[in-house]
Chain A
Amino acid sequence: MIIVSDVHKRYQTDKGYGKWVLNGVSFTIPPRVNVGLVGPNGAGKSTLLRIIGGVDHPSKGEVRRDCSVSWPLGFAGGLQGTMTGRQNAKFVCRIHGREEEIPEKLAFIQDFAEIGDAFDEPVKSYSSGMKSRLLFGMSLAFDFDVYLSDEITAVGDAAFRNKAAAAFKKLSDHAGLIMVSHGEGTLRQFCQAGIWLHQGQAYWFDDIEDALKNYKDSIKL
């Protein structure tokens, strides 16, 4: 369960504080529910995801996590370009768990990512699809209760997306997913519930279709 209560967020800019990106956002995500975050560019979707993941902090309000949450899977960071896929994976294994599990986890990641020999090449030589395969594999190697995904499946090919979806179907009896995506198909494929971010507020919908409908109505106007 993740409880977001009255979260406000604004960033410091060169000219003082910027406007409120999130302005009093509250909702509760029950266990094992897959949620899609929808909203226009700059609505604060990634910011909210980072706050839920604990890598960014709200200016006001709080987030309570009663479960293990993955890091936000996205392209903003998480992979060091000059190091190989294996070295990156090792680093994440080391900060998440015990040393003796590393070989087993590495084998899993290499197997899931299906990037072949590129696993031992520097990450900067990867395509964005390969990066997302690696990141996704890395996160699945650990039994998180909730996975956070920021457009990570957007660049994957159909095979990878199906594989990721199958992995999540398998996980769905004990894990949930919170994802940011502009792809309606992706959202429908992965999520049941939806959160629509609109003018700094968040609206919860039990059905992702309702969230998408509201979002689309808001941009038509």
Chain B
Amino acid sequence: MKRTRSSPEIFFAVIRALILREAALRIAGGRLSWFWLLMEPIAHLALFVALFGFILQRLIPGTDPAIFIAIGLIGYFTFQRTATQVKVGISANLALFSYRQVKVLDTLLARALVELVLMLLTSGILFAALAMIGRNVIPDNPLLVLGSLAVMWLTGLGFGLILSVVSTLSEDAGKVVDLIMRPLYFVSGVMYPILSIQQPYRDMLLLNPLVHGIEMLRHGFFPRYSSPPSIDLSYLALWALAMIFVGLLLQRRFSQRLVTL
């Protein structure tokens, strides 16, 4: 009888293999695919930063408009891209479920981790570029920035876990969710400080947990940035926790139907 591996051993081996595979797959498209992989989000970010940060030059007290837009987008994308990647994770990995070691959750976690690394790389390049043209890109409170980003990522992971089950079980429900996701960009305070919104709409926007993460990111960068006192990272963290819990519950409940479909 051969030595049998423990469950955590198998889990980590599988996660490792999946991350390497995912990374290889992303850059396997051609000679320049690694370039496009980073260029695509960077181009998007750069366009918006140029458009709203430099050209419009809206005055936001205590901030640098270019950085203001950049971190708003980075925070939002960390959530949205992770959620999207995790959402389509099941159908993209169907071929792998013929190995009993590979569980659905493994593939989703690996995808979320790869997306996080990509997002950090992208942000690093963007900030390096901003620094080169003389902007001050050093955050006032780096720990708060990293913490807020981490919570945004966890929220994306939780949301993705739920979406992956919902969209696999019902294509129609998946489309409805896509429809709801679209305006999320505009009600998350990516482009504007939340204080610039009049009441009672401000309080309505504050119900959106993403607003709290993005505002908190800005606090991490600009010591004199002002936002409503009700901004609270733990509100977003609670949402993240709840969504991960529900997501895991759904994964467990429907684990058999996710793969056989």
Contacts and interface: CB of A to CB of B under 8 A. Distances in A.
Interface stretch (A78-86, A165-173, A180-188): A78-86
Given A83-B24, A83-B25, A78 B2 contact: no
Nearest to B169: A12
B24 A87 contact: yes
Given A12-B257, A68-B2, A96-B101, A80 B17 contact: no
Interface residues of B, number: 26
A55 B255 CA distance: 11
B95 A77 contact: yes
B17 A94 contact: yes
Residue among B10, B28, B29 having the largest count of chain A Cβ atoms under 10 Å: B28
A78 B95 CA distance: 5
B21 A87 contact: yes
Contacts of B102: 95
A194 interface: no
B2 to A, nearest CB: 6
A71 interface: yes
A55 B95 contact: no
Contact of B28 (A57, A74, A83, A91): A83
B13 A94 contact: yes
A206 interface: no
A90 B17 CA distance: 8
A56 interface: yes
Interface in B218-261: 256-257, 259-261
B186 interface: no
Nearest to A9: B260
B257 to A, nearest CB: 6
B28 A95 contact: no
A72 interface: yes
B97 interface: yes
Nearest to A58: B256
Interface string B159-203: 000000000000000000000000000000000000000000000
Given A55-B98, A94-B20, A95-B13, A82 B2 contact: no
Q: Which secondary structure dominates chain B's binding surface?
A: helix
Given A11-B260, A68-B2, A143-B2, A92 B99 contact: yes
Contacts of A55: 97-100, 259
Given A77-B94, A80-B95, A83-B28, A95 B260 contact: no
A77 B96 contact: yes
B135 interface: no
A68 B259 CA distance: 22
Interface in B1-46: 2, 10, 13-14, 16-17, 20-21, 24-25, 28-29
Contacts of B94: 77
Contact of A79 (B28, B95, B257): B95
Nearest to A135: B98
Contacts of B256: 56-57
A74 B95 CA distance: 11
Interface in B62-101: 94-101
B95 A95 contact: no
A76 interface: yes
B98 A95 contact: no
A143 B14 CA distance: 19
B260 A56 contact: yes
A54 B97 CA distance: 10
Interface of A: 11-12, 50, 53-57, 68, 71-72, 74, 76-83, 87, 90-92, 94-97, 122, 143
4 smallest beta-carbon distances between A and B, as pairs: A94-B17, A54-B100, A77-B98, A77-B95
Given A77-B98, A78-B96, A87-B28, 12 more contacts: A12-B257, A56-B260, A72-B98, A77-B97, A79-B95, A80-B25, A81-B95, A82-B29, A87-B21, A91-B21, A94-B13, A94-B16
Interface of B: 2, 10, 13-14, 16-17, 20-21, 24-25, 28-29, 94-102, 256-257, 259-261
